[in-house]
Structure 1
Amino acid sequence: MRVARNVQLGLQEAHCEFDIVAHPHSVTSRETARVAGVPAERMAKSVVIDDRHGHYVLAVLPASRHLDLSKVGGPEQWRLTNESTIAALFNDCEPGAVPGLGEPYGLEMLIDPLLTQQPEIYLESGDHKNLVHMRMDQFHKLVPHAEVCDLCEDRF
């Protein structure tokens, strides 16, 4: 697989310009950035969170950073979604290769501004060997309803 079906449909519907970047197999978003030779600040890390009542949100932040649940309401309101649920939500993707696109999967999206300030972005394509690469203006066309808000842990 190069690009998951829902990712491909989203790209086509938004008429986005993109290219595919092949890389050696990797598991984490930070490792993917390293083996693909791309800046971790431009690599989208996708984290699925839920409210324990069936409401799921895709949080997208730079691979170089960590999600701070207190920035989205705290652990009393949100938790990290379990892997089996994520696999069901992203059923056209390999486990753990969650694209930074919520809309093709029917999920609300939150995007950290540290990522949107980059000139380009790299997203998981749905497998562990390919990335979707595009300019940031093209990414915004792809996710027009995403909310930009601070998601990352503060660095001291």
Structure 2
Amino acid sequence: MAIALSLQEYLERNHVPYEVLEHDRSSTMRAAAQNSGLPEDCVVKAVLVEDDDGFMLAAVPASCNVALNRLAKVVNRPIDLAREADITTLFTDCEKGALPPVGAAYGVDVVIDDSLDDQYDLYFEGGDHRTLVHIKGEDLYRLMPDARHARIRDL
């Protein structure tokens, strides 16, 4: 599968150069990093969460989990993991569980872990479990200028 059409169109509309890398099918971002020979700290895992206001993505390095309690403090409201049915509804052109962290392509707000701020290169799901998208770290912030940055990872 090529990258998800919504993601591809958003990258191209914003003139962000990207590279598509294929790897053996993996069920976690940590495994995707290992299959691709990449450091886990520059591979981005996206987790969909929800609250009374709707949905948002939390983006953390593949080596970490989202600390829901920290994220709740950042957004100043209680949050919980989204249900699988909601993920499928919002990310219609993605395989189950293969969420790109570029929430703006899907109309979803994003909170980015601050450890990703200093990464020169970033890699993330392209919409399936066999494809990573490579962009320059600075381009992630151009793609989502309104994203919040905070420590939301749990080591």
**Do the structures match in fold with TM over 0.5?**
yes
Q: Give the equivalent residue in structure 2 for 1:58.
A: 57
Q: Give the equivalent residue in structure 2 for 1:10.
A: 10
For 1:77 and 1:105, the matched residues in 2 are separated by 22
What amino acid is the match of 2:45?
A: K
For 2:140 and 2:94, the matched residues in 1 are separated by 19
In structure 1, the residue corresponding to 2:101 is in which secondary structure?
A: coil
Post-superposition offset of 1:108? 0.5
Q: Which runs of 4+ in 1 moved over 2 A?
A: none
Q: Does 1:69 align with 2:68?
A: yes
For 1:115 and 1:26, the matched residues in 2 are separated by 22
Q: CA RMSD in A?
A: 1.3
Alignment deviations for residues 22-51 of structure 1 (CA, whole Å, 9 cap, x no partner) = 101111111111111111100100011101
Post-superposition offset of 1:54? 5.3
- TM-score, normalised via structure 1 length: 0.93
Range with greater deviation from structure 2 (21-30 or 76-85): 76-85
For 1:2 and 1:31, the matched residues in 2 are separated by 19
- TM-score, normalised via structure 2 length: 0.93
For 2:98 and 2:82, the matched residues in 1 are separated by 14
Q: Give the equivalent residue in structure 2 for 1:37.
A: 37
Alignment deviations for residues 53-73 of structure 1 (CA, whole Å, 9 cap, x no partner) = 351010000010111111122
Q: How many residues align?
A: 152
Higher strand share: 2
Post-superposition offset of 1:118? 1.0
Instruction: Give the gaps of 5 or more residues in structure 2.
Output: none
For 2:126 and 2:112, the matched residues in 1 are separated by 18
Identity across the alignment (%): 33
